[in-house]
Amino acid sequence: MSFDRRRLFAALGGVVSASAATPALARETAATPTRDVGQRSRIDAVTLGLSPHSADDQSKTFQRAIDYAAAAGAVLHLGAGVYRAGGLVLPPHAAIAGMSGTTRIIMAGAPNLMMATGSDHVSLSGLTLDGSNVPLPQQRGLIHVVQGRAVRIFDCEIVNAGGAAIKLEATDGEVAGNRVSAADVAIFCLDARAMTISSNHVRGAGNNGILVWRSAPGDDGTLVIDNRIEDVSNTAGGSGQYGNAINVFRAANVIVRGNRIRNAAFSAVRGNTASNLQMLGNTCSGLGEVALYAEFGFEGAVIANNIVDGAAIGVSVTNFNKGGRLAVVQGNLIRNLIDHRPVGTDPKDDAGIGIGVEADTLVTGNVVENAPHAGIAAGAGPYLRDVAISSNIVRGADYGITVSVAPGAGTSLIADNLISGVRLGAIVGMEWKKPVTGDLATTGAERYAQLTIGGNRTR
């Protein structure tokens, strides 16, 4: 059977012309979805009673429209306009699509804007979702999904959220290409099942940008990739629980890659009890505390090929006393460190360090420039074991490399590094924060059987 494209386009043109010319008929036949080529069926929300630009709360009508379209397996399409609603429940297969930048849903009166529980194949796209700065209940997101499969939120703008903007619990799917701001957390992913959080622009979050957490330590596997995160504050206070662009807590096997992070009160990427965490190729500037952090009871971290420009500490692999161990820190460019941490942290905590590590860690191929205290610091008191520091460049610091020689400190290899422009010593032994040796790059290393130092170039 032959296929005449001109006849098809003429027929489609006739449908469009007839719809425009006979709106009453369009309203009468709205119960029958029309199928776009290559897409799900689509139902115009106006034909189901929703009115753009209405000053009324349309929650009941909106809910009926969502339920009808989901039951039909169709996309509920919202044209340009403002729709006021709240407490909307998304059933399985609910799909709502708007026109980017012109379709706005403003929260009106309910605990949140949209909620889905046990709903699979939910989709939101092309919508501006406005929380009106109404405070949200604790543990509730403006958009909140629990136990959903194949959930997609994309090409939306979520603004004026009076708490968390997007919260996902025990959910798999994708949050991609959205613009998000929030009074608390922009995107909160708890107990994920194969989530991807990508290409979003978080600009302005009161406490954290993107959280990937688990209720208990375990495999997670969320991908946090290619996002832009800016201006993350710390309105809740504390010593690091808040103020992070990306925070991974108890979640193992997470990849944080290719993100652009600027101006966060504390960390760019903070991994807490997060094993096998990879921080790869992120560009980070304007951080108040540790830029890239692997802390507490983790096993396994790869921190590679990142840029850090401005932080109290560039990279920290720490808390061997809590089981934190096993890392590779490679190929990072770290510069312009500052000599203090934010208000709320222990004033005795270190600052002005490019890279700090403690246990079972390789530090290689990094460049550190302008560190007020030390370019690279190995160990704290007795908390040092099996650290290799090789083929790095350190330029401009009080100390090029410091290494703990306190009683109980373990083995370190420091070899083939280039150390330039240091003020107080190229390689110096420390007992906690006190320097207790001369420059071990030139003499004295033989006193410490646990240290192997050689092949370093200083000038």
pLDDT at 334 over 60: yes
> Do 133 and 106 contact (CB within 8 A), yes or no?
no
pLDDT at 18 over 60: no
Which has more confidence, 116 or 22?
Answer: 116
What's the confidence (pLDDT) of residue 41?
Answer: 93
**Per-residue tokens: 103:** 């379709």
**Per-residue tokens: 226:** 């290619």
Cα–Cα distance measured from residue 224 to residue 279, given in angstroms and rounded to the nearest whole number: 10
Give Cα 70 distance to the centre of its chain: 31
pLDDT at 344 over 90: no
- CATH number of the structural domain 63-205: 2.160.20.10
- Residues β-bridged to residue 120: none
Judged on CB neighbours under 10 Å (0-12, 13-18, 19+), 57 is: middle
Q: Count other C-beta atoms under 10 Å from residue 358's C-beta.
A: 27
**Per-residue tokens: 357:** 């590590």
User: What beta strand segments (E) does 379-443 contain?
Assistant: 385-390, 393-404, 412-415, 418-431, 434-439
DSSP 308-362: EEEESEEEEE--GGGT-EEEEEES-EEEEE-S---TTS-TTS--SEEEEE-EEEE
Does residue 11 sit in helix, strand or coil?
helix
What's the confidence (pLDDT) of residue 354?
Answer: 98
> String of b and e for 109-123 (b: at least 16 CB within 10 Å)?
eeebbbbbeebbbbb
> Computed from CA positions of residues 256, 257, 263, 266, in that sequence, does the dihedral angle turn out positive or negative?
positive
Q: What are the angstrom distances between the C-alpha of 101 and each of 178, 309, 336, 417?
A: 12, 34, 39, 53
- Residues β-bridged to residue 304: 280, 330
Percent of the chain with pLDDT strictly greater than 70: 92
> Do 378 and 412 contact (CB within 8 A), yes or no?
yes
Q: What are the angstrom distances between the C-alpha of 286 and each of 118, 205, 209, 225, 245?
A: 40, 15, 15, 20, 11
Read off the pLDDT of residues 50-109 as tens digits, 9 standing for 90 and up: 999 899 999 999 999 999 999 999 999 999 999 999 999 999 999 999 999 999 999 998
Cα–Cα distance measured from residue 79 to residue 107, given in angstroms and rounded to the nearest whole number: 17
Largest CA distance in the chain: 94
Cα–Cα distance measured from residue 302 to residue 342, given in angstroms and rounded to the nearest whole number: 26
What's the confidence (pLDDT) of residue 343?
Answer: 87
Residues contacting 323, CB < 8 A, separation 6+: 296, 297, 298, 299
Read off the pLDDT of residues 167-209 as tens digits, 9 standing for 90 and up: 999 999 999 999 999 999 999 999 999 999 999 999 999 999 9
What's the confidence (pLDDT) of residue 4?
Answer: 39
> Computed from CA positions of residues 295, 385, 412, 400, in that sequence, does the dihedral angle turn out positive or negative?
positive
pLDDT at 452 over 60: yes
Nearest alpha-carbon partner for 206 in 227, 185, 230, 177: 185
When the pLDDT of each residue in the chain is averaged and rounded to a whole number, the result is 92
pLDDT at 5 over 60: no
Nearest alpha-carbon partner for 149 in 172, 116, 175: 172
Does residue 201 sit in helix, strand or coil?
strand
For residues 274-279, average pLDDT? 98
Read off the pLDDT of residues 284-311 as tens digits, 9 standing for 90 and up: 999 999 999 999 999 999 999 999 999 9
